[in-house]
Amino acid sequence: MRTQVVIIGAGPAGLLLGHLLLAEGIDAILVERASADYVLGRIRAGVLETTLTDLLHQLGIDERLNAEGLPHDGFNLADGERLIRIDVAALTGRHVTVYGQTEVTRDLMTAATERGLQIIYEAADVTLHGIEGDAPFVTFRENGVPKRIDARFIVGCDGFHGPSRQAMPAHVAQAFEKVYPFGWLGILADVPPCNHELIYASHDNGFALASMRSNTRSRYYIQVPLDEKIEAWPDDRVWDELAVRLGPDVAGNITRGPAIEKSIAPLRSFVFEPMRHGSLFLAGDSAHIVPPTGAKGLNLAASDVAYLTRALTAFFNAHDNDAIAQYSDRALARVWKAERFSWQLTSLMHRFPGTTPFDRRMQMADLDYIASSTAAQTTIAENYVGLPL
């Protein structure tokens, strides 16, 4: 097989890139090691910046987004005694949209079938070759049969554990990582949310987040130690702890129900540089991971894809190499700002091992300053809603 671009990974980043390239008349084939059902079954966050929703509108893959997405004009920080509302719309003129990543993936997959975007699922032993030249290719096995796709470029949208980043030569690569000493225990339940906007809570017991996927499905998180076992957290214990950490004003609005999904996820900040070498590009989680505080993961992937679409379109349709050469620097400039915001919000709202009474007082003073400062709230709002491309 031959194409112009091979995209490794058919999650939302790879699917979005494939659709954008297809719209520009650029041939692309997606290669995914998992099954379509597995890809669709991943439970992820769902706070979308306008960078992503604008791309979906541009593609016309927005019917369900328009009907079911929940526009949010703000969100809340809780300090145990009050809710500090950050009025994102008033401070920035923009808003975010709550619409699950699973639903974004579903919409992109459905449109791929309708529009003829080629996706090869359950591809085994995916291997990248010749990335330092102008004729790279990908080999894999499909139903046990060896296959090869030749292309001009390869794009790795295959996540943190995929083969694309591993194909980068060690002499050009540099990784930056911070592993946080706690995780998030998440519970998904078919109950109405306790508040119409997200609540990020800082409590002496640890962090909590009240979120939602729709008006009838809620997503909650609590900070737990890294070695915590999910068996130690039956549903009732989770609900009880959420009521404590979110505070008395919120607790009365929590509707309890059986968990339909419960898991513990570790937190890390990770950036890999560069995001391009030769004919290989990285996008999304293959190049960077952010802690979920601040909801930047999928949105950063979308901004990578936006930059990369411009670069590949300029190369194929206008014979312009400049955007290709500049992709990594442009993407990383935005990545590092998002990493800073996620790290800062994580540091503000969580309890770290070894936190002293002084450290805790500094967190509370910071929250008190945010509550009283329009300038501080504007900075948070600008980063939360998404910095411009």
Q: Which sequence positions are flagged as catalytic?
A: 72, 200, 292, 296, 384
**Mind giving me the DSSP string for 81-131?**
S-EEEE-HHHHHS--EEE--HHHHHHHHHHHHHHHT-EEE-SEEEEEEE-T
In the DSSP assignment, the letter for residue 286 is G
Distance of alpha carbon 276 from alpha carbon 327, whole angstroms: 7
Instruction: Work out the angle between the directed axes of helices 50-59 and 12-23 (0-180°, nearest 10).
Output: 50
Q: How many CB atoms lie within 10 A of CB 304?
A: 30
Contact 227, 194 (CB under 8 A): no
Contact 128, 164 (CB under 8 A): yes
Distance of alpha carbon 274 from alpha carbon 216, whole angstroms: 42
Distance of alpha carbon 84 from alpha carbon 118, whole angstroms: 47
- Those residues whose C-beta lies under 8 Å from the C-beta of residue 73, and which sit 6 or more positions away, are 87, 88, 89, 90, 95, 197
Distance of alpha carbon 380 from alpha carbon 349, whole angstroms: 13
Contact 109, 40 (CB under 8 A): yes
